[in-house]
Structure 1
Amino acid sequence: MTRRRYPIGIQTFSKIRENDMLYIDKTEYIYNMAHAAGTYYFLSRPRRFGKSLLVSTMQSYFEGRRDLFRGLAIEKLEKEWTEYPVILLSMAGAKHMDVEGLQEYLLYILKVNEERFGVEFHSAAPNLRLTNLIMAVYEKTGRQVVVLIDEYDAPLLDVAHEESQLVAMRDIMRNFYSPLKDCDPYLRFVFLTGITKFSQLSIFSELNNISNISMKDDYAGICGITETELLDDMQDGIAGLAQANELTPRQVVAKLKENYDGYHFSAHSPGVFNPFSLLSSLANKDFDSYWFASGTSTYLVNMLQRFNVQPASLQRMCAKSSAFDSPTETMKTITPLLYQSGYITIKGYDKISQLYTLDLPNKEVKVGLFESLLPNYLDGSYAEQGDVAIARMSVLIRQNDIDGALRLLQTFLATVPYCNVTNHEGHYQQMLFIIFTLLTHYVVDVEVHTPKGRVDIVMLTADRLYLIELKLNKDADAAMKQIDLKNYAERFALSGKLITKVGINFDSSVGNITDWRIA
């Protein structure tokens, strides 16, 4: 059997089907939506999760291109295959624009659609052009119009937290989308994708009947790839990855889940793989970081600093849905941005309290995020050198040589220029938390509560549990005494692991570890 090519970065449904590339069948979702009572739908998902491919699939379906759907679920479900006129408006090209550029872009994508349907209208007002386009297409074809808007929020994401620019850009987009309400009699189906919800755009403030399916259980798997889909459709890719890395197929699936799985988009969502990373991993036969490396994290890091988010707090948390599924431009915490951008996801739900548990989805995101944060604690190019030191530390800890690992860390930190933010213990705790987290093979947590206090850092390896206490401008004996005085080890006595206590002292005058004790 010849392995189908993986459509990495290909967002056109017809191209995938005509070239016999791998397609994960999402057409039953489309059928259910198209035959439900509503007209207006919105879906939020992180970038590179297949939103554009979903829109392209919808376009082919509503245009009645039945030949493209042979062998897919919708072929058996759909009986009529009515052909509708489809207006496709992709806002992906409207990123990083000013007001004038955005106006020009809107007129351009409208002109493209006007030419497709032979419509002429020369107004310079995008909202009037869209109104005329919908009504003219309805008149020409005698059928209601389907409007598909991909990445509706793209022009606003860059300025979401710059109030002066956001207001002007948002007014343009609000005006542009307003015809969707007035043209309701002429519309068969309207579908919008995006990353976030902008509360003051007309689609949410005026279209009060819009169905937001982003957190609906029935649509949790509409984008991305579930484990069932992986096992059903990609066995040849799993076998190739296993052979290339000298692993068994079962071990490959476990590593794929560890690296790229773990997303949940509703209370009862199945686990969802990041499709871009998963397909890239199978195609390249490795386990590299793909999704995180494909987009800049500068904006995210800046927002984490703006909201004064400590790296150690990017861990398991509980929240109501209103705390993370809320409009980005009005958010009071970083949580909505982290969730909607794909850096944290749903990991559990308590029906009685209606509390969601949120956490980092997988290893790829965790490592990529903390590597991005490391330069805030290690200046300049030293963060890159730190990657090598951290990898070497990981080997030493795997060999149960925590003393050697700390000596290596001390040697490395001695090469790092003096940092201004060295006057409080928390800075070093966060820096060490990032470094230990990037060891990647171990479970690391901070400020772990015990009956008598809190352990600064707890690290779990294959056969050991390390209790690490930090002191600033004191000595390692003081750190060790705190571990013993508060009997932190008792809290973890049932872990079944050999417990190692580590007391570490930092000297702010040199910005480095000066001494440590291990017991």
Structure 2
Amino acid sequence: MKAGSAQKDVSRLRKEISQMLRRKLPVGIEDFEEIRKEEFYYIDKTGLIRELLNNWGKVNLFTRPRRFGKTLNMSMLKCFFETGADETLFEGLSISREKALCEKYMGKFPVIFLSLKGVDGLDFENARDMLWEVIQKEFRRLQYLLQDERLSKPDRENFSSLMTARVSDSVIQKSLSLLTEILYRYHGQKVILLIDEYDVPLDKAFQHGYYEEMAALIRGLFGQALKTNEFLQFAVLTGCLRVSKESIFTGLNNFDVNSIVDVEHDEQFGFTDSEVQKLLADYGLEEKADVIKDWYDGYRFGDASIYCPWDVIKYAKKLLADPCAEPEAFWINTSGNELVKRFIDKADKTTQDEIECLIAGEVIEKAVRLDLTYNELDTSIENLWSVLFTTGYLTQTDRAAGGIYKLVIPNREVREVFVLQIKEWFRKITLADTARIQRFCAAFPAGDAATIQDMLHDYLWDSISVRDTAVRSDRKENFYHGMLVGLLQSRENWLIQSNTENGEGYSDITVCTPERTGIVIELKYADDGNLEKECLQALEQIEKKKYAAGLQHRGMKKVIRYGMAFWKKECMVVMAQAPDQP
């Protein structure tokens, strides 16, 4: 065997062994015990336990955007504190080096753990039943309390009845307080209460129109469990939005809130740059670091720059299966993005201008409220800015001064959702004016470049566009491209193709009408503002790549060619017509 061939075999063998030794990536797994026992890859966030114990708060609320590890961290807290904790789950992690803390706190407490992320319903009765089912499930998990005589017979009967019965609102409100008392009597130790995604029932109630009823129910539940509860060691809650204290935490004075602007705990939710670099190195994906940073980094929590962990893990796993895989908007696609839709629908001209700045990568300054009631969201567009910030659609570039924050879109993924929602908003508005859109589309087969240009200019003025900034030209061009395709698609009997093979290349937009008129459109963005130059270059490209000939080969009797150039809200349209087919 030749030396070179042997070296290749050794290299291949090492690569295969390395792949076998790699831990599985935990996509969608939020259970700490499962991740550790099944040997999934885990980025150590047990420092949160140390920080939580060293900075004691009776009731601790952590607000972070969705998919930033809140549920996994809560599961980790449960595994650490709960009576009978499995110490092997924490071997090799940073908390295991805190010998005194582990000795004093690990496995020493009864724990109640609720996740409210599934409490959704179209009406209050349905959502109320979902909430009670979550609480009942925790009662059933703790039914070992019925197995000996440490509880009195009335306590056991009361506990047992709550595992199956459909109860009144007042019983639901008392249930967690009652459970802490029963656990204390059984264990002789105060209880740790963990409530994950506490604000989801309120968010869903707001969307479906029963907010007041759900707020009253949650207010009673939390009030009795968290306020002057002598059986409570401490509580930890997580959510996306910091709901106003006056809304559901009335009278709760022992309340410690940690949000995305706080330095404390700033690296415990989401991935830091060093953590991402190590993950990429562990899986041989170092060459993807720049792409991952562009798409999924950019959030600022306290003083830390943070990546979205859901995105990083999803994309890394996809790359392991397909090294050529393109990045996707994984985080965005886990939600309907109702907040962005709501925001854009309410935008006036001033807000549209600010959105243009953000899409172009610019900074805007806004006064941000970190606590709101859901009923306040629609009272002012300024409140929606605050919600976009706290839920991760915007982030800060600088520390606040007098409540003013410098806000930006964090990364390419979030920018994509703004652009997509703007296109959808624009499409709905323009298609509603049927006479106007019909006139616009009719101008294309008629060869009426002047009308197309005038109406495009009007549409650009009415819409939200992309400013002339450091954003790459191809991204700006894509915005105008998408807008134009959306307008042309109002003609249902036209065949419209975008970026498809045609002639000797890929044309931007082609249209085939039932009258066998072909239309080919090439778009350019004029970085220097010279629209005429870019229009002529577009027409030259159509000729050079033989786009018109491609449409003639498809049976079009005539082909009209348009070169279009855009700059901010300005545009120019130049038309050339190919000879008729013989």
Residues of 2 paired with 1:370 and 1:149: CA distance? Answer: 35
- In 2 relative to 1, CA 337–350 (structure 1 residues): closer, same or farther, beyond 3 Å? closer
- After superposition, what is the alpha-carbon deviation per residue over 1:243-264, rounded to whole angstroms, capped at 9, x for unaligned? xxxxxx3x52111111100001
Residues of 2 paired with 1:429 and 1:466: CA distance? Answer: 22
| Secondary structure, counterpart of 2:389 in structure 1 | helix
The match for 1:199 is: 244
- In 2 relative to 1, CA 306–67 (structure 1 residues): closer, same or farther, beyond 3 Å? same
| Superposition deviation, residue 359 in structure 1 | 0.5
The match for 1:317 is: 364
The match for 1:79 is: 102
| Secondary structure, counterpart of 2:300 in structure 1 | coil
Query: Root-mean-square deviation (CA), in Å?
Result: 3.7
| Superposition deviation, residue 126 in structure 1 | 0.5
- After superposition, what is the alpha-carbon deviation per residue over 1:125-169, rounded to whole angstroms, capped at 9, x for unaligned? 20122221111111111111011001101111134367x621122
Alignment: residue pair count: 418
- In 2 relative to 1, CA 326–127 (structure 1 residues): closer, same or farther, beyond 3 Å? closer
| Superposition deviation, residue 306 in structure 1 | 2.6
Q: Which shifted more, 310-319 or 133-142?
A: 310-319
Q: TM-score, normalised by structure 1?
A: 0.71
Q: Does 1:20 align with 2:39?
A: yes
| Superposition deviation, residue 59 in structure 1 | 0.5
Residues of 2 paired with 1:349 and 1:136: CA distance? Answer: 45
- After superposition, what is the alpha-carbon deviation per residue over 1:326-349, rounded to whole angstroms, capped at 9, x for unaligned? 444424322122112211011122
Q: Does 1:187 align with 2:232?
A: yes
Residues of 2 paired with 1:502 and 1:312: CA distance? Answer: 13
| Superposition deviation, residue 365 in structure 1 | 0.8
The match for 1:136 is: 182
| Superposition deviation, residue 49 in structure 1 | 1.2
Residues of 2 paired with 1:12 and 1:301: CA distance? Answer: 32
The match for 2:392 is: 342
The match for 2:426 is: 377
Q: Does 1:58 align with 2:108?
A: no
| Secondary structure, counterpart of 1:358 in structure 2 | strand
Match of 2:317 among 272, 276, 283: 283
Match of 1:39 among 49, 58, 62: 58
1:467–1:501 contact (8 Å) kept in structure 2: no
Q: Does 1:211 align with 2:244?
A: no
| Secondary structure, counterpart of 2:463 in structure 1 | helix
| Superposition deviation, residue 220 in structure 1 | 1.1
- In 2 relative to 1, CA 36–381 (structure 1 residues): closer, same or farther, beyond 3 Å? same
| Superposition deviation, residue 235 in structure 1 | 0.9
Q: Does 1:88 align with 2:113?
A: yes
Residues of 1 paired with 2:458 and 2:125: CA distance? Answer: 49
| Superposition deviation, residue 202 in structure 1 | 6.4
Q: Does 1:156 align with 2:177?
A: no
| Superposition deviation, residue 201 in structure 1 | 5.9
- After superposition, what is the alpha-carbon deviation per residue over 1:480-502, rounded to whole angstroms, capped at 9, x for unaligned? xxxxxxxxxxxxxxxxxxxx996
Which amino acid in 1 is paired with 2:137? Answer: V
- In 2 relative to 1, CA 187–35 (structure 1 residues): closer, same or farther, beyond 3 Å? farther
How is 1:226-265 mapped onto 2 (pairs within 5 angstroms)?
Answer: 226-237=272-283, 239=284, 241=285, 249=286, 251-265=287-301
| Superposition deviation, residue 66 in structure 1 | 1.5
The match for 2:89 is: 68
Q: Does 1:297 align with 2:337?
A: yes
- In 2 relative to 1, CA 302–502 (structure 1 residues): closer, same or farther, beyond 3 Å? closer
Residues of 2 paired with 1:438 and 1:372: CA distance? Answer: 19
- In 2 relative to 1, CA 90–127 (structure 1 residues): closer, same or farther, beyond 3 Å? same
Residues of 2 paired with 1:107 and 1:52: CA distance? Answer: 20
- After superposition, what is the alpha-carbon deviation per residue over 1:75-113, rounded to whole angstroms, capped at 9, x for unaligned? 111331242111111111112342212322232222222
Identical pairs, percent? 23
Q: Does 1:428 align with 2:461?
A: yes
- In 2 relative to 1, CA 289–272 (structure 1 residues): closer, same or farther, beyond 3 Å? same
| Superposition deviation, residue 213 in structure 1 | 1.1
Structure 1 unaligned blocks of 5 or more: 242-248, 383-409, 447-463, 471-475, 477-499, 507-512
Structure 2 unaligned blocks of 5 or more: 1-17, 146-158, 320-324, 432-442, 480-524, 536-564, 576-582
Residues of 2 paired with 1:107 and 1:204: CA distance? Answer: 20
- In 2 relative to 1, CA 324–443 (structure 1 residues): closer, same or farther, beyond 3 Å? farther
Q: Does 1:104 align with 2:129?
A: yes
The match for 1:400 is: none
The match for 2:68 is: 49
Residues of 2 paired with 1:502 and 1:152: CA distance? Answer: 46
Q: Does 1:172 align with 2:217?
A: yes
| Secondary structure, counterpart of 1:84 in structure 2 | coil
Residues of 1 paired with 2:55 and 2:400: CA distance? Answer: 29
Instruction: Flag the structure with larger Rg.
Output: 2
- In 2 relative to 1, CA 291–68 (structure 1 residues): closer, same or farther, beyond 3 Å? same
| Superposition deviation, residue 183 in structure 1 | 4.8
The match for 1:451 is: none
